[in-house]
Structure 1
Amino acid sequence: MRFLKLIAVSVAVLALAAAPATAQKKPYKIGAAVYGLKGEFMQLWVNALKEHPAVKDGSVKLTIFDGKYDALTQNNQFETMVTQKFDGILFVPIDIQAGAQAVEKAAEAKIPVVGSNARVLSDKLVSYVGSDDTVAGALEAEAVIKAMGGKGNVVIIEGPIGQSAQIERRKGNQAALAKYKDVKVLEMRTANWSRAEALSLMENWLTAHAGKIHGVIGQNDEMALGAIEALKAKGLSPKSIPVAGIDGVTDAIRAVKEGHMMSILQDAQGQAQGGLDVLLRHIVGPGYEPRAALWNDYASEGLSWGDGTARQYNVPWTPITLQNADALLAKRSK
C-alpha cells in the first residue's frame, strides 16, 4: 500500500513539472490613465480598450483612471497604481512635461508604461502607440486653405496648452500656413478640446472680426463643431466658411456628410488596443502574440509589429470623405 502511495505522489509531481511554465495564474493588473473622459474621442479610446481580446477573456484586469484634465490628478493616480502594484500602465497624458514625473515613479517601481494617443517627454516610457499629430495639423490646415482658394484670414482653435497634440498640431498648422503668403492668422487660442468653450470663443471672434474670418482650423473635432454652432447662430454657413477638425468623432463624420466640415479619423481602437498589445509584450515576454486588429489593418501602410519592442508605433490617419463616411458611421454603431 505504501509503495502504491509513493507511485501516486511521484506521478503527481511529474504532472506538475510537465505543466507549462508560462501558464498565467492570475489576470494581469493593468491601469489606463487617460487625461479626461468628457470628450467623445477618449470615450471611444476607453471603450475600444475594454474590447481588447485579453480584457474580454479575463487575462487582463483593467482599471480606467480619469485624469480630469489635470496633471496633478494623473500623478496621484500613478502613485495609487504603484502602491497597489499594478503590472503595467497605459498612459494618455494631459501635459507633455508634467507627465514625465508620473512615468518616473512607475519606472522606479519596475512597472512598464506605454504611452498612447498623447506623448510625454520621458526616456522611461517603454514604447508609444499613437499617430503623428504634426501630419494631421498640416493636413487640416491645407484642407481649409485650399477651400479658401489659397488666400484670406483664418482663426486657429487650439487644444490644452502643453499637451503633445496641441504642440504638434500647431507645428503642422504653421508648416502648412507658411506656404501661403496670402493667408493671415487673425487669432489663435485654446478651447481645451471643448465644444462649449470653442462655441464661446468663436462667438467672440465673429463679433471682433465681423466679416473678416474666412476659415477655421480646429485642432480637434469637438472644437470645430463648436465653431460651426457659432457660425450657424450668426446666420453664417459653414459651407461658405470652411472648418476643419481632427479625430473623427461621430458628429464630425455626420458634419462631413452634410458638407459642413472636413476631418481626419484618428484610430482610437488602433491606438488603445495596439498600446495594450505592446504593454503585454513587455510584461509577458517574447512569447506574447499580438491580438489587436491594427497589425493586420495597417500592414500595407507600413505598420509592423516586429517583435513588439519598438520605441514608437505610428497609427496612420484616414481622411474622412463622402465615400467612406457611411462605412465609418456603420462601424461606430456596432
Structure 2
Amino acid sequence: MRNLSRTYLTIGLATAALAVTACSGGGDDGSSEGDGESYRVAYIARAQVDSFAAWLANEMQSEADTYDDITLDVFDGQANDEIENTQIENAIANNYDAIIVQANNGEAQRPYIQQSVDADIVTITTNPRVDDIEGASSVDASPYDQGAGVAELAVEEIPENARVVVLNGPGGNFHSTERRNAWEEVFFAERPDVEIVAEDIANWNKDEALTLMEDWVLANGEIDAIISMNDNMAAGALEAVRGDSAYDDILAYGVDGTPEATLLIEDGLMTATTLQDASELAELNMSTVHDLLTGAEDEVNVDIGNPVITQDNVQEYIDLYTEAGLIDG
C-alpha cells in the first residue's frame, strides 16, 4: 500500500492537550446582541486522541472566536467516563452559563447532563445527542443515515461470499450503535453470503484498530473488506496491511469524512466514507448556544447532513480541506 500523497495536518488537534483551552470571543462579525453581556461556555470534548473529536474541538474554538460575547473553555474527556463526568460536575460548580457535552458514553454521562439541566444551565449534547433529557438541546447528525450511506454502496461493491471484519466504537455510544444497526439492516440483511470473520470494539482509536487487524490477519488470512464505524479505525486497520500485496484490493468503509480519509480514498486505499462535517457541527453548536443564552430560542434539536464521499467526488473535499489548512497542499 502506498503512502498518503499529501500530509494530513493535525491543525493543532493536539494544540496543547486541550486540558483547558480558553477561547475568548472577539470576532468582528457582529454576532453579539450588543447588550454588553458576556457568556462563559464549557465544551466537554470526548477525547483528543480521536481525530474527529479533536477536529471538532478545534472548529468549536474557531467558531467561538466569531462571537464577541462568548468565551469558550474546552476540556478533554480523554475517552474516560469518570473524567468526563467530573468535568461536567466541575463546570456546574464553576457556574458556567452553558455546557456543551460530547458524550463518551451517553448513558454514563446522562445523570450528569441532567444535573446541568437541573441547575438551570443551558445544556447541549452533541456528537452524539443524548436523547430524552427534558430541557436539554442537541446538535448532531443521524448516525443511522451515516452508516446507511456507505452500507448501500457496499451492497453492490463487496464481492460475493466475501469475508469481512467489523470495527465498532465504544459500547453504549449512540453513534457507534446506530451506524452498526444501519449496516445490519441495509447491508448484512441483503447480503447473507457475506461472512463476518471478526468483530470487536476499537473505541474510535486508530492504534486499537491496527492491533486488532494485525491479529485478525494472522487468525483469518483472507479478508475482503473492512467495515468500520469511523474513519480513524478504518485508517488503523489499513495501516496493519500496508505493504502486503495480498490486501492490495481490500475494500474499506468508514464514517466522518476526515481529511485523512479523503487522502486514503484519493489514493485508492479506502473505498468510501460519509461526511460528518465538524465545521458545520461547530457552527450549529455556537449559533444554538448563542440563541439559547440570549433567549432567542428555548430549545433546539437539529441535525447536519450526511454526504457520501467516494473517488468520484473526493477531490471536492480535498480542495475544501486544503483551503481550510487541514491538508498540506
**2:266 aligned residue:** 257
Structure 1, 27-36 or 148-157: larger mean CA deviation? 148-157
Q: How does 1:94-243 map to 2 (within 5 A)?
A: 94-124=104-134, 126-176=136-186, 177-211=188-222, 213-238=223-248, 240-243=249-252
Give the alignment's TM-score, normalised by structure 2: 0.82
The 8 Å contact of residues 140 and 281 in structure 2, kept in 1 or not, is answered as yes
Shift of 1:310: 5.7
The 8 Å contact of residues 100 and 125 in structure 2, kept in 1 or not, is answered as yes
Are the structure 2 counterparts of residues 312 and 57 from structure 1 closer, same or farther at C-alpha, using a change threshold of 3 Å? closer
**1:58 aligned residue:** 68
Hey, what's the Cα distance between the residues in 2 that align with 1:183 and 1:263? Answer: 20
Hey, what's the Cα distance between the residues in 2 that align with 1:200 and 1:174? Answer: 24
Hey, what's the Cα distance between the residues in 1 that align with 2:89 and 2:53? Answer: 22
Q: Structure 2: which amino acid aligns with 1:328? A: Y
Q: Structure 1: which amino acid aligns with 2:59? A: A
Are the structure 2 counterparts of residues 162 and 125 from structure 1 closer, same or farther at C-alpha, using a change threshold of 3 Å? farther
Are the structure 2 counterparts of residues 121 and 108 from structure 1 closer, same or farther at C-alpha, using a change threshold of 3 Å? same
- What is the count of residue pairs matched by the alignment? 289
Query: Is residue 2:279 matched to residue 1:279?
Result: no
Are the structure 2 counterparts of residues 125 and 194 from structure 1 closer, same or farther at C-alpha, using a change threshold of 3 Å? farther
Among 21, 24, 31, the alignment partner of 2:35 is 24
Query: Is residue 2:314 matched to residue 1:325?
Result: yes
**1:37 aligned residue:** 48
Shift of 1:150: 4.6
Are the structure 2 counterparts of residues 208 and 86 from structure 1 closer, same or farther at C-alpha, using a change threshold of 3 Å? same
Which whole-Å deviations, capped at 9, do the CAs of 1:139-197 have from their partners, x for residues lacking one?
22333342223542211001111111111111111112112121122221011111111
Q: Structure 2: which amino acid aligns with 1:198? A: A
Gaps of 5+ in 2: 1-32, 325-329
The 8 Å contact of residues 114 and 133 in structure 2, kept in 1 or not, is answered as no
Find the structure with the greater CA-based Rg.
Answer: 1
The 8 Å contact of residues 148 and 242 in structure 1, kept in 2 or not, is answered as yes
Q: Structure 1: which amino acid aligns with 2:268? A: G
SS in 1 for 2:268: coil
Hey, what's the Cα distance between the residues in 2 that align with 1:191 and 1:64? Answer: 25
Are the structure 2 counterparts of residues 236 and 144 from structure 1 closer, same or farther at C-alpha, using a change threshold of 3 Å? farther
Shift of 1:126: 2.2
Hey, what's the Cα distance between the residues in 1 that align with 2:134 and 2:62? Answer: 28
Hey, what's the Cα distance between the residues in 1 that align with 2:135 and 2:302? Answer: 13
Shift of 1:233: 4.5
**1:6 aligned residue:** none
Hey, what's the Cα distance between the residues in 2 that align with 1:58 and 1:323? Answer: 41
Q: Structure 1: which amino acid aligns with 2:215? A: N
Q: How does 1:2-17 map to 2 (within 5 A)?
A: none
Hey, what's the Cα distance between the residues in 1 that align with 2:119 and 2:136? Answer: 14
The 8 Å contact of residues 288 and 300 in structure 2, kept in 1 or not, is answered as no
Which protein is richer in helix relative to its size?
1
Structure 1, 199-208 or 116-125: larger mean CA deviation? 116-125
Identify the structure with bigger relative contact order (alpha carbons < 8 Å, sequence gap 6+): 2
The 8 Å contact of residues 103 and 122 in structure 1, kept in 2 or not, is answered as no
